[in-house]
Amino acid sequence: MITKEEIREQIRTRFAEVRERARVLAQALRVRAEIAAAKRRLRSACAGLGEEVYARLSAQKGGSLQDDPVLQEFRVRIDGIHAEIRQHERALAAILEGAKASPAGAGEQPAAGGDEPEGPAES
């Protein structure tokens, strides 16, 4: 049979193991947080680079970039997304104007505004 002292020693050993695992996990979490922060900075830098390239493509200052069909395809896609955002912003403004004009019918306005983006998407 196990004595009280052996039980205490086993518990101390287990606590020491748990403490060590907790230390390792905390260290790993700190490193993961640093990795995530570095990835965010990298995405931000890439986004900045992309914005600069897009600005040069749009301003016709791209030089050899103007001849690259892949970059031109990206420019066209980005222009399309910009147009889609403007369309959604107009639809939102119309919904909000409708809500201001008739507060009682505010629940009905989003349904009417929800149909609005479908029309221009066809063109």
What residues contact residue 106 under an 8 Å CB cut-off, 6+ apart? Answer: 98, 99
Confidence of residue 38 (pLDDT cuts 50, 70, 90): very high
Chain segment 52-94, per-residue pLDDT in tens: 888 888 887 667 777 888 888 888 898 899 999 999 999 998 8
Query: Kind and range of the H or E element at 1?
Result: none
Residue with tokens 């970039």: 65
DSSP code, position 108: T
What residues contact residue 78 under an 8 Å CB cut-off, 6+ apart? Answer: 54
Rounded CA-CA distance 10/3 in Å is 11
